[in-house]
Structure 1
Amino acid sequence: MLSRDLKERVAFYIRENPGMSPETAMQKAQTDALVNNPFIPPTNGCPVNDLPPELLAHIFELGRQMYEEEEDYEDEDYDDDGLEDDEWETDDEEGDADEEVDGDADADVLMSSPVKRTAPLPPSGTDAEGSESSSNADSVGSAAEGDEPDLAFQVLVSHVCRHWRDIALGTHTLWTTVRFEGHLNAEKARAWIQRSNGLPLDIFIDCTTMHDPAHDHEGDEAAMQGPARAPAPATSALTSPCITLADLITIIDMLTPHVAHWRIFEVTVSYYTYMYEVLQRLSQCPSAPLLEELGLYDYEDSDEYEVFQPAELATPFTLFHGIAPKLTNVAFWGVHLAWDDSLVLLQGLREIELAYHALDVRPSFGAFRAMLAASPDLQLLSLCLSGPTGDMEVVEVPSLRTLVLCYLDSEYVQPLVRALVLPALEELTLDFSQEDYTDFAKQLAAPAQGQTRSLLAGLTGLKLTGLPCDKATSELVMAQLGQLKMLELNCAEEDDERWFQFLHRTNGKPPAPNAPMFCPKLETLRLTGIEGTLVRKLVAARKAAGAPLIKVSISDRDIVDEKDERWLRANLDAFSFFEPSDSEEDLAEVDEDDEEMIDD
């Protein structure tokens, strides 16, 4: 098509200009063919620059949001040591339209929202003069060798031309997410914060990224200017944190003068010595007037759940002098407070997550009850190897919609759930193992505290990762799920497949041909540990029984052949694969190992 068009143009020019040579006619034809080509820069300036600055700033903000959303889905298996300087730049290194941008000038210290590494996740400015930030605002992966640096979107647009740079730097909302992950450049981090110009800050500090000694830092060392940058260790394999304890102290001391502007503050560590320094400094902050979300996560493994270790770090703290009037979401994983003294802080909450606490540092039931009573709009309560201690008394939480219970002993969880009056509960997550939870399952199927129906009867969503009980009790549980619309099952272990098999059956003893199926309103099913052929049979059976499934997701570890996949996509409104969490993968691997041992 293009070749014919060029030939016609050349013939036309020669016909209209008899003295024109074929070469000249071809050049003119090629030039005319490229007029208004969207892949060729216009010769009369950039039309985007004719847009009002407010509209261009809005476009930049949308681009930043899209960039962050894409980063959330990227694979986390990357070389974290390459993150030091790939996304930040100082104002001494300003990119202009006629300059080559030095990628190392634009590095952010990367951070990502906490993802549980070693235990399952319960439901998963103004310019500084001469410098710019180096916390990674907006998660960014390292560039492969020979590739262009992966710049944060706001940094990228600030290097296009002087006009775009002025607008980007003047759009302060572009610079309000500050992420620290990887090696630190404190000078550039301060500049990034300054660009936010006093707007509320979303701060993420991840100290779990480990140093890769195979990475060559010689070029990176030359580019770094920050006084707090820790030298990269030359030995050991992924054992030294990229953010050292000294780095973390520098970061917190850099951020606390801006505590009045914090909106989100999350810290993830692998060692409690790190978290202790954070807690000490937060306890000295006078208040956090804009803080809405607080997440403190310690991923350090411990086999001691009776007494907190190390004992010298067990001192509890009261953060922000108990003053954070806008605080709504809190998560404390392996991190304890002075609970009784923190009740003023822990009020008006919408989400509470308590996880991995030794018995001696858990809140008393009195403090726990006061926390719930002072949060009349509480929507989510998550207790994972944690919860209140002492005698349980009845407490009503009329607003609670979501309850997560994981790794709690059967003798503990029964009185706990019996004490909670939850008339509005819609979603429940259960993750138990090692014990027999038959008595607890029977309790769930019986009328709940203060109600005529069971806790299960009102559920629209259930995530069942583990509930070991006998078959008869399992059937009692399933019979209560008449309103259920979404079910997630982990069937990595053989006994757990029983829950999946119930979905084929009708409700009743013995099952009657015309009786409704278990979970008659079920629409969405998410499965781990079930092969595609079995899923296909289930979808067909429920469709034939008048209780069709609408959406099904299967773990990408499970076997689904192309024929079954095509059938499922044709017979469901939505079919997809998902990547299971670490805990789901661990269960599957254990199951596979057991089979191999039997085969041997």
Structure 2
Amino acid sequence: MSADQDETPAVTKSTQVIDGETVEVYQLNNFNLEDHMKKLAEKMRSNPFVPPVEGCPINTLPNELLSYIFTLGAQLDIADDKDEEEIDDNDSDEEDEPTLEFQVLTSHVCKRWRDVAIQTPSLWTRLDFTEGPPFGKSKTYIERSAGCPLVIDIDCTVPDDDSDEEEEEEVEEVEEFDETEEVVQSDAAAPDDEPKSSAATKRKSRSFGPADLDAIRALILPHVNRWRIFELMTEDYAIMHHTLGALATAPAAEQLKMLHLYHYDDTDDIEHFEPAELRAPVVPFAGQAPQLVNVALWGVHVDWPRCDFFQGLEELELAYHAQDPQAYASALLERLVFPNVSSLALDLEEEDYSAFIMQLAAPLPGKTKSLLSGLQELRLSGLPCNDAAIDKLYASLPNVVDLHLNRYHLEEPFFTKLFPQAPGAASSSAAAGDVSVPLPSLQNLSSSGVDGEQMHQLAEARIAAGRPLKKVFMEIDDLVEPDDEKWLREHLERFEFFEGSDDEDELEIDGIEIMSDDGLEAMSDDDDEVSQD
């Protein structure tokens, strides 16, 4: 037998029965775990970690660069918080552990980091007051922010899962955390102005009482001139009204860029503004906020004619207003100029909006044309008005290519007035040269609540008048006889049925929707919304 055959194999395979189950076992014959650990320990002793003689490498960075790193870290911290808010709470059963805000955490590492952090004003500009009275954290932040623009976020809403038991648990968590925090601070020689209570923790929103809000206003109103973002969320309009009153006494907001006032009301289909005694509109900041570009008003009234700060807006969101807004909408319309608007959707009800339509069709201030003259797409889902207003509306739409009519919520003339009309007559049988054709650029028409015979007649009349429809989309539930469908398919470039659905690209503003460019493109194509019958 050769020497090679006498050598013990490195791995031996065997079969064993463990708990009644037969398994294959592989054994390393030339490996001893104890010897291996001894060798590993010896290797580690011969190659110990030697800390740098001059300390941690990050300490070689200049203060300016360290400050910039802190700023980036704080920004990432804020972004992470926003991402967490957008994610569904799948771990709701797990307890939320309080955590230090990034800028506070860095100020607890060592004395140098603390000095750099405190001397970086941009780290201390976000105020949310969630620490509760007496708002020591917020006072400290305001002092440290020096002259930097402030971001103010006041959330007065009560969390859906709010309960006394949860509040007690949260207090216990914070108290335990504060003990740990004090140990860290002792190493950093923290001065008395450092937030030491729940001020330093990220907590859920809480409900502020009247006294708390008065204290908050007393802290922030002296600094209105350096507000950059102001956001208030509340379910109680009395709180909103009180705040509006305070803003009405404030001076001009010279650096304010975003103003978000959200009144959350669970009541659906409010017909009248309530409480009526708080309906009177106000003028925040003496009507002066020259840098304001983004405004959101949810159920909040302002005095449009006296507010000069809306002239430079890039984004305006109006939502959750009562269903009696015609006078308010008219006052708003006088202040807004949309020279380049290409798509408009109206979904109004209850009142007579004839005067509002006449205002829409009138020339813009300082212009010879109306807001409607440049429209390429119009969606009508509800618009109570008289026949004269409809005539005025259609006469003001020379460039509309796409029209969407929901006849379930519109009077019949909105459809019948699309027929070619002889001057002074309602007949659609006059010669082509003697008729005027409403919406002369109209090519694509989608409808709900119109039957096949009506659409057949309209398409045929517009072909005879030299202004043919090219594409027609009808709701799948509307009655269309086979003969009418056959004629429409033969005489149009495209005829399809669709199922009614909401378009996520629409921005609803109190029943008035202004389409984004992406939304307009999607609706012009309509490929995703239609389906073959």
TM-score by length of 1: 0.51
- 2:236 is aligned to 271
For 1:168, the equivalent position in structure 2 comes to 117
Give CA deviations for 1:485-515 in whole Å, capped at 9, x if unaligned.
xxxxxxxxxx98889xxxxxxxx942799x7
Choose from 148, 151, 166 the match for 1:202: 151
Amino acid at match of 1:368: L
Counting aligned pairs with the same residue, the percent is 32
SS at match of 2:153: strand
2:101 aligned to which of 143, 149, 152: 152
Residues 156 and 311 of structure 1: CA distance in aligned 2, closer, same or farther (over 3 Å): same
Match of 1:353 among 308, 314, 317: 317
Question: What letter is aligned with 1:200?
Answer: P
Asked if structure 2 preserves the Cα contact closer than 8 Å seen for 1:143 and 1:149, the reply is: no
Contact 1:260 1:288 in 2 (8 A): yes
Q: Distance in 1 between the 2:418 and 2:107 partners?
A: 57
8 Å CA contact 1:351, 1:381 repeated in 2: no
State whether residues 397 and 420 of structure 1, in contact with CA within 8 Å, keep that contact through their aligned partners in structure 2. Answer: no
Q: What is the match of residue 45 of structure 1?
A: 55
Q: CA deviation at 1:334?
A: 0.6
Per-residue CA distance 1:363-421 (angstroms, 9 max, x = gap): 54653333113x77889999887999944322445999999989x73326996994997
Match runs of 1:86-97 below 5 Å: none
Query: Would the alpha carbon gap of residues 517 and 431 (structure 1) be closer, same or farther in structure 2, given more than 3 Å must change?
Result: closer
Instruction: Write the mapping of 1:576-595 to structure 2, written as runs, cut at 5 A.
Output: none
Structure 2: how far apart are the matches of 1:427 and 1:267? 39
- Residues 1:368 and 2:341 aligned together: no
2:277 counterpart SS class = helix
Which residue of 157, 166, 191 corresponds with 1:215? 166
Letter in 1 for 2:301: H
Q: 1:193 corresponds to which letter in structure 2? A: I
Unaligned regions of 5+ residues in structure 2, if any? 1-34, 179-194, 365-369, 421-436, 460-468, 479-486, 497-502, 506-524, 529-533
Q: 2-side partners of 1:296 and 1:171: how far apart?
A: 30
Q: Aligned partners of 2:144 and 2:274: how far apart in 1?
A: 41
**Conserved? CA contact 1:359–1:389, under 8 Å:** no
Unaligned stretches of 5+ in structure 1?
Answer: 1-20, 80-140, 229-237, 458-463, 483-494, 500-507, 519-524, 528-546, 553-600
State the Cα distance separating 1:50 from its structure 2 match: 1.9
User: Structure 1 residues 283, 249: closer, same or farther in 2, change over 3 A?
Assistant: same
- Correspondent of 2:384 among 411, 420, 426: 411
Instruction: Confirm or deny: 8 A CA contact 2:263 2:298 kept in the other structure.
Output: yes
Q: Secondary structure at the match of 2:384?
A: helix
Q: Which moved more, 1:59-68 or 1:408-417?
A: 408-417
Contact 2:348 2:384 in 1 (8 A): no
State the alpha-carbon separation in 1 of the partners of residues 411 and 47 from structure 2: 75
1:13-52 matches, within 5 Å, as 26-31=40-45, 35=49, 45-52=55-62
1:266 match: secondary structure = strand
Q: Which residue of 2 aligns with 1:56?
A: 66
Aligned residue for 1:358, secondary structure, equals coil
Paired residue secondary structure (1:308): coil
Letter in 2 for 1:156: L
Distance 1:526 1:368, change over 3 A: closer
2:489 corresponds to which residue?
510
Provide, for residues 215-264 of structure 1, a one-character-per-residue CA deviation record: whole Å limited to 9, x for no partner.
15253686698999xxxxxxxxx9x9622233223222221111000111
Q: Is the 8 A contact 2:241 2:278 kept in 1?
A: yes
Letter of the structure 2 residue corresponding to residue 409 of structure 1 = G
Please report how far the alpha carbon of residue 60 of structure 1 lies from its aligned counterpart in structure 2 after TM superposition: 2.4
2:212 is matched with: 247
Mapped pair 1:71 → 2:92:
no
1:31–1:454 CA distance, 2 compared to 1 (3 A): farther
Structure 1 residues 281 and 474, CA gap change in structure 2 (3 angstroms): farther
Whether the 8 Å CA contact 2:249–2:285 is kept in 1: the answer is yes
In 1: Cα distance, 2:448 partner to 2:210 partner: 42
**Separation in 2, partners of 1:378, 1:424:** 12
Query: What residue identity is the alignment partner of 2:163?
Result: D
- Read off the aligned partner of 1:186 and give its amino acid letter: F
| Deviation of the 1:285 alpha carbon | 0.4
Q: In structure 2, what residue type is equivalent to 1:350?
A: E
Conservation of the 8 A alpha-carbon contact between 1:456 and 1:481: yes
TM-superposed CA distance for 1:200, in Å, is 1.3
Number of equivalenced pairs: 397
Question: Against the structure 1 CA distance between its residues 68 and 221, is the aligned structure 2 distance closer, same or farther, given a 3 Å change threshold?
Answer: closer
Distance 1:163 1:445 in 2: 79
Determine if contact 1:263/1:292 at 8 Å carries over to the other structure.
Answer: yes
2:150, 2:228 within 8 Å by CA — same for their partners in 1?
Answer: yes
- Which of the residues 234, 239, 246 maps onto 1:281? 246
Q: Secondary structure at the match of 2:231?
A: strand
- 2:279 is matched with which residue? 314
Task: Please say which structure displays the higher CA radius of gyration.
Answer: 2
Decide whether aligned partners of structure 1 residues 348 and 31 sit closer, same or farther in structure 2, where only a CA change above 3 A counts. Answer: same
CA contact (8 A) 2:261 2:296 kept: yes
Partner of 1:341: 306
SS at match of 2:489: coil
| Contact kept? 1:157, 1:168, Cα under 8 Å | yes
Alignment of 1:175-194 (within 5 A): 175-180=124-129, 183=132, 186-194=135-143
Residues 27 and 68 of structure 1, relative CA distance in 2, 3 Å threshold? same
Task: Report if aligned partners of 1:175, 1:196 keep a CA contact under 8 Å in 2.
Answer: yes
- Conservation of the 8 A alpha-carbon contact between 2:235 and 2:264: yes
What do you get for the CA RMSD once the two structures are aligned? 5.7
SS in 2 for 1:288: coil
SS of structure 1 residue aligned to 2:100: coil
> Which amino acid counterpart does residue 142 of structure 2 have in structure 1?
I
Distance 1:445 1:350 in 2: 38
Contact between 1:382 and 1:404, CA under 8 Å: does it hold in 2?
Answer: yes
TM-score normalised per structure 2: 0.56
Which residue of 1 is the match for residue 32 of structure 2? Answer: none
- Structure 2 distance, partners of 1:159, 1:208, is 32
**Cα offset, 1:273, TM superposition:** 0.9
> What's the offset of the Cα at 1:172?
1.9
Change beyond 3 A, Cα 1:22–1:66: closer
Contact 1:378 1:399 in 2 (8 A): no
The residue type paired with residue 209 of structure 1 is V
Q: Secondary structure at the match of 1:194?
A: helix
CA 1:47 to 1:306, structure 2 compared with 1: closer, same or farther past 3 Å? same
Q: Is the 8 A contact 1:365 1:390 kept in 2?
A: no
Deviations 1:443-488 (A, max 9, x none): 9999xx998545989xxxxxx9xx85447699999x8899xxxxxx
Between the aligned partners of 1:340 and 1:310, the Cα distance in structure 2 is 23
Q: CA deviation at 1:326?
A: 1.6
- Does the CA-based 8 Å contact 1:249-1:278 persist in structure 2? no
